[in-house]
Structure 1
Amino acid sequence: MEDDERRPTYAELGKRAAHLLADMQTGGEILHPVVNTTRKLASHFWGFAWMKHLARCEESGLALAPGRSLLRHGCVLDLELAPGTVHGKVMGERLYDIRIDLTPLDEERMDAIRHACAGKIDSHISLLEGKLDDALLRQLCDPDTGLLPAPEEWRMSCTCPDWSEPCPHAAAAVYAAGTLIDGDPSLLFLLRSVTLDDLVGKAPEIASAEDFDTDSLSRTFGIDLDQL
C-alpha cells in the first residue's frame, strides 16, 4: 500500500480532531467533546460498572478496542445522552455522525428492578454512588436483569462507510458515554429512562438531611440534586 493510501494513526486523527474542533467552535457550533486518557477509564461506581461491562463484551468478541483508542486521542468531538439515545460526532478519516438507540427496559424487567430495590435504597445519593447491598448491585449491573444495556440492545448507526458492527466510531461513542456517566451517574438513569424515584421511592414528607445533602453530591460528582 502506498504511503498516501495508508490509514492515519490515532495520533494523527487526534491532531485532525483538535484542529477541526477549534474551527467548529470558532464558527459558533456548540459541541460537547469527550476525552478520557486515564488507564482505568472510570473512577466512580457506575462509570466503572459501564467500563467493566464493555470489557466483558470485548472478551466475548465485540470489537470495541478501536473506539477506546479514538476516545483517548480526543476524537469524540461531540456526545449527548438522552432517554434511550446517544448522539455524537467522531473523527475518523473524516467527521462522522453517530446515533445509538437502546431497546427500552420492558415493564417486566422494570417491575423486577423496582421490587428488588424496594426498601433497600435510603437516598438518591446512595443510588448514585453505588453504596448499596452487594446482591442488589449485582442485579442492577447485570445486563440481563439490570440497567446496563446488553450488546443486543444497542442499535448503532454511523455515517462512515465501515460495515463492521460496531464500527470504531460507534464504539468510541459507547466508551465516551461511559466517561460521561462516570462524571455524572444520573446520566445512566436518564439514558435508560429511569427516574431516581423509581428506585428510591417517594421521599417522606419530612426528608432527612442525608437524603438531600446537596453539598455531598456536588463534591462527589459536581451535579445538583435539585436538577435530578
Structure 2
Amino acid sequence: MSERTPWWHDAPPSRPRRVSGGIQIHGTRGAVARTWWSARFIEVLESLGVGGRLARGRTYARAGQTLDLRVEPGAVVARVQGTRPQPYRVRIGLRTYGKAEWAAVEQALAEDAWYAATLLAGRMPPEIEQLFTGLGLALFPAGGHDLSMDCSCPDHAVPCKHLAAVFYILAERFDADPFEVLTLRGRDRETLLANLRTRRSDTGPAPEAPTATPLADLLDAFFTAGPAGAAADLPPPPTPPDALLDQLPAFPIDVRGHRVVDLLRPAYRALGDTEDSLVRDVDR
C-alpha cells in the first residue's frame, strides 16, 4: 500500500487578508513594466524561475496588498499583507556606489545636459546604461545574485509572492520616476541635480572678452550724418528694364491666351541688355 500524499500538498492556497487603501499597480492584465528601464527589474525576477509565485505576486500587486513601499539608497523596504494578521516585512537590497564612483558618473552626466533634461522629462535615456558600463559600473542588476531579498513570511522560496508583489509595484514606480532607479544605486534626485549644476558651473573662468566702447559713449554720434555729399555720390539702385510694364493697367484682351504684358516683357529685357552693353563699351 503506497503512502498517501499529505493533505496540505493538495490544499488550495489561502486567501490573503483584505487591505483598504493599499498600493496597487494600475494594469489589470498583460505586462506590468511599460518602459525599458523598469522591465530590467522584472527580467531579473522572471529569470529566477519561481513559476506560480510570480502569478500570485502580480495578483497581490493588483489587489493592493502592499501597505507601504519606500525606495532609499541601496534598498527597497515594504510591508505586504498576507494571510496572517501581521503584515510581512519585505526588503530588496542593491549595492550602492561610493563617492568616487558617483563623482565619475556625475562628471560624465554633466558633460552633456541632455541626460538631466531627459530624466526631468520622465524618461531614462538608453545611452545612460552604456555610460555606466563605460565607467566599469552597472546601472541595473544583472541577475538575482546582484540583489539581496528577504521577507519575514514562512515561505522558504526566494523570491516569495510577497517579494514578487514588491517587484511589480517597484517597476511601476520606476515607470513614473526614473530617478528612483538612480536612488537605488545611491544618488537621490535632489543630490544628483545639485551636483550636476555645480559641476556644470565649475568649468573655470570664462575668457576675457575684448574691451568695447560703452553704448552710452556712442549715443551723441550715433545719428550724425556722414560727410557732405556722401549720399549724392551713391549710385541709384538698378531698375529692371521691364519695371514699367508692372505699372501699366491690365489690357482688356489677350493674344492667343497670353497677356500682352507677358508678350512685351522679353522685348523690354532685351532692350535693357543692349543698353547695358553700350554703357560697358563707352566705359572702356
The one-letter code of the counterpart of 1:35 is Q
The one-letter code of the counterpart of 2:32 is L
The one-letter code of the counterpart of 1:149 is P
**Mapping of residues 72-221 of structure 1, within 5 Å:** 72-94=62-84, 95-105=87-97, 110=102, 113-114=105-106, 116-122=108-114, 124-128=116-120, 129-130=122-123, 132=125, 134-140=126-132, 145-150=137-142, 151-194=144-187, 195-197=191-193, 200-202=196-198
Corresponding residue for residue 13 of structure 2:
7
What are the Cα deviations for residues 3-52 of structure 1, in whole angstroms up to 9, with x where unaligned?
994213xxx43xx333xx36xxxxxxxxxx32114134244x5xx412x2
Change (3 A) 1:76 1:98: same
In the alignment, the residues of structure 2 paired with residue 123 and residue 53 of structure 1 have an alpha-carbon distance, to the nearest angstrom, of: 19
Change (3 A) 1:80 1:55: closer
In the alignment, the residues of structure 2 paired with residue 2 and residue 62 of structure 1 have an alpha-carbon distance, to the nearest angstrom, of: 23
Unaligned runs of 5+ in 1: 23-32, 206-228
Deviates more, 1:109-118 or 1:188-197: 109-118
Corresponding residue for residue 214 of structure 1:
none
Query: Would you say how many aligned residue pairs link Structure 1 and Structure 2?
Result: 182
In the alignment, the residues of structure 1 paired with residue 123 and residue 32 of structure 2 have an alpha-carbon distance, to the nearest angstrom, of: 17
Corresponding residue for residue 41 of structure 1:
32
Deviation of 1:149 (Å): 2.9
Deviation of 1:58 (Å): 4.5
Deviation of 1:200 (Å): 4.1
In the alignment, the residues of structure 2 paired with residue 141 and residue 70 of structure 1 have an alpha-carbon distance, to the nearest angstrom, of: 35
Deviation of 1:185 (Å): 2.7
Change (3 A) 1:131 1:184: closer
Q: Which of structures 1 and 2 has the larger relative contact order (alpha carbons within 8 angstroms, sep 6+)?
A: 1
**Mapping of residues 56-67 of structure 1, within 5 Å:** 56-58=43-45, 60-63=47-50, 65=54, 66-67=56-57
TM normalised by structure 1 equals 0.63
Unaligned runs of 5+ in 2: 1-6, 202-284
The structure with the larger Rg is 2
Q: Which contiguous aligned blocks of 4+ residues in structure 1 show a shift greater than 6 angstroms?
A: none
Percent of counterpart pairs with the same letter? 26
TM normalised by structure 2 equals 0.52
Change (3 A) 1:67 1:107: farther
Corresponding residue for residue 18 of structure 2:
17
